[in-house]
Amino acid sequence: MSVNSDDFCINITNDPDLYFPDGNLVILTRDEVGNHTYFRVHQSILLKHSKALSDHIFPDSPSPVRDLYDGVPLVEFQEDPRDLNTFLKFLYEPFYVFSAAPIQRGDPDIAFKMYGALKLADKFSIQPLKDTILSYIREDWPLTLQAWDEREAFYSRRLKNSPGSTMDDVAPEPASVIRLAREFESQILPVAFYHLSRLPVNATYGQHNQAPRYARGVRGYLLSPADREKASLGRERMLRWIVDRMESLMLDTWQCKGDEGCHVHIYWRVVVLHRSVIRSMDVLSTLRSMRSHKLERGTSEPVEDAVCHDCNGRWDQLLNDARCDFFNSLSSFFPDL
């Protein structure tokens, strides 16, 4: 049904999943353009999961005169109908089979899709739902370097096995994660900001057009000016860190035990590394790709630049150590998160 006027048209609908004929309560929500969606639910189900939710609807104060809709009491929520639909599906799941689960493990866009439902779970103290959503998000934003590498490899495999997809279809987007993490999971903010900092400032989520399918985007409208500034400052700090680290460890002190002149080749490796970091803005991936033994490619063949076996081993160890130290220093690149 719709209501028309000279200036606008408001759609009025009952939620197709959550309008039960025997429900004893109707919840009204409106979307951003004013369309009405009604949910007819059972107070007993709401009370089972959350006394705070039931108290919000039926406070202990003297009962006010309530409007009715379809013969039962009507209450209004300010949340978006899509968020309320997802939230209520979790409450009904043990008793009602839906055509699709409200949340799927492995969905790369969980932080964006579930933000509203997570806020409702927090508002009404439904801890199991909060824990479920946050546990799925933590999988995509690990706090150890090994787990980070495993997730990056996982996204690459997923993209390879998904013809016609882009990286935005198979990997999480940082701005929605940052928005959520600021309220509910602050420990993942450094890795989320690292990912944001390695993307071009004009990378728009889902709008790559001529860009390669491995390009990744950002929902820039979710970022505050302060977030953008932190990403820029973090990018600058990371570049300085890698320049200082590589020069102090290699150029000033490198000596080849076999006196084969390896320091010249090491110098050029550092030059290539700096250039690659500036081009990609991805320190961790660049350090990994610059190792002389490309284990991640399934081979142990050294690069062809006449560096001796001993110097290659030292080089690889220095890069591995730098990657670990860099990852463990992420919070220092983005202070005051």
Q: Is residue 228 part of a domain?
A: no
pLDDT at 20: 94
pLDDT number for residue 55: 78
- How many residues does the structure list for the chain? 337
* Domain-located, residue 75: yes
**Token pair 């949910």 in the structure block, residue:** 39
Is 298's pLDDT higher than 60?
Answer: no
How far is the C-alpha of 117 from the C-alpha of 120, rounded, in Å?
5
Q: Residue 111: how many CA atoms within 13 Å on its side-chain side?
A: 27
Lowest-confidence region among 213-217, 250-254, 272-276: 250-254
pLDDT tens string 113-171: 999 999 999 999 888 889 988 998 999 999 999 999 999 999 999 999 988 888 999 99
Range of the domain at 317: 235-333
Per-residue confidence (pLDDT) for residue 299, from 0 to 100: 47
User: How confident is the model over 237-258, as a mean pLDDT?
Assistant: 81
What pLDDT is stored for residue 99 in this prediction? Answer: 42
Instruction: Count the domains in the chain.
Output: 3
Answer whether residue 61 shows pLDDT above 80. no
pLDDT of residue 267 exceeding 80: yes
Whether residue 229 is contained in a domain is answered as no
Three-state DSSP state, 306: coil
Find the DSSP H helices in the chain.
43-49, 51-57, 81-92, 110-113, 115-123, 127-140, 145-160, 167-170, 174-184, 189-197, 225-246, 262-280, 283-289, 309-328, 330-333
Least confident range of 103-107, 122-126, 148-152, 320-324: 103-107
Mean pLDDT confidence for 53-80: 79
Does residue 230 belong to any structural domain of this protein?
Answer: no
More confident residue, 287 or 252: 287
Domain-embedded: residue 239: yes
The percent of residues above 90 in pLDDT, for the chain, comes to 45
Q: Mean pLDDT: which of 9-23, 244-258, 282-296 is highest?
A: 9-23
What is the pLDDT, as a whole number, of residue 296?
40
Structural domain includes residue 136: yes
The answer, yes or no, to whether residue 89 has pLDDT greater than 80, is yes
241 CB-contact burial (10 Å; exposed 0-12 / middle 13-18 / buried 19+): middle
DSSP 8-class letter at 204? B
pLDDT at 211: 64
Among 164, 197, 223, the domain boundary falls at 223
184-223 residue pLDDT tens: 999 999 999 999 999 988 888 887 665 677 788 999 999 9
CA distance linking residue 308 with residue 12, whole number of Å: 74
3-state secondary structure of 114: coil
Asked if 83 and 25 sit in the same domain, the reply is yes
Q: Pairing between strand 9-19 and 2-4?
A: antiparallel
Q: Which of 69, 96, 123 is the last residue of a domain?
A: 96
Q: Distance between CA 319 and CA 290 in Å, rounded? A: 8
User: Do residues 130 and 85 both lie within one domain?
Assistant: no
